[in-house]
Structure 1
Amino acid sequence: MNMEFVMLICSATLQEELEQLFRKHKISAFSQIPTVYGSGAGGGTRLDTEVWPGMNMMYILALPDDKYAIVKGWVSEYRSHKPREGVKLFTLALKEML
């Protein structure tokens, strides 16, 4: 079975929407990093300060191809809308999981 290692970085405002997606598709194994600061073309700068308000969060997942396709499809669809919050998906081939 092929697996993808996924880092999903998004505005913290998308937490409930993403976790609904995970529940709906029985994606129950993930790690969440609740506070991630950074800057990107899609969501701007988020440092949780007066000058740069807001913050991001990150999900780390190891997904089989079928579940990865669901998450990738959601991100692609979401990013096609304007205006929107920032969301970025990074993947690496997962060689081994112990």
Structure 2
Amino acid sequence: MKFIFCTCNISMMDQVTQLLDNNGVTSYQITDKVISRNEKGSPRFDTAVWPGYNVNITMQISSDDKADRIIALLREFNKEKAFSDEELLTVCSMKMDDYFFD
């Protein structure tokens, strides 16, 4: 089981959630209006000086194979869809010990 954390520019959110929906990811949460300073690109602090903001998309995936496929698709997304450093996704994953919703 894996927990995947993805942060992206708000301008990329719809494309990322469409990728998830089209690939059978049925459980994810979106945290809106996240201000951030990333490894690449300009800070996004939702101010006049540093406009824009990110969203965080967190996923819980019980199958490691499926999680690895989603991570590969997100990496491919960066290569094919991001036209600049401002649009790159930041993705990390962690193993989960527990996952329940009962």
TM range (shorter): 0.7 to 0.9
Answering whether residue 73 of structure 2 is matched by residue 74 of structure 1, we say yes
Task: Give the match for residue 62 of structure 1.
Answer: 60
- Greater mean alpha carbon deviation, residues 75-84 or residues 24-33: 75-84
Overall identity of the aligned pairs, in %: 21
- Return the alpha-carbon distance in structure 2 between the equivalents of residues 26 and 20 of structure 1: 10
**TM (normalized to structure 1)?**
0.85
**Residue correspondences, number:** 96
**TM (normalized to structure 2)?**
0.82
Q: Which consecutive unaligned segments of at least 5 residues does structure 1 have?
A: none
CA contact (8 A) 1:43 1:87 kept: no
- Greater mean alpha carbon deviation, residues 21-30 or residues 68-77: 68-77
Give 1:5's aligned amino acid: F
Greater percentage in strand: 1
Answering whether residue 84 of structure 2 is matched by residue 83 of structure 1, we say yes
Q: Which consecutive unaligned segments of at least 5 residues does structure 2 have?
A: none
Runs of 4+ in structure 1 displaced over 4 angstroms?
A: none
In the alignment, which of 21, 24, 44 is matched to residue 22 of structure 2?
A: 24
Shift of 1:11: 0.7
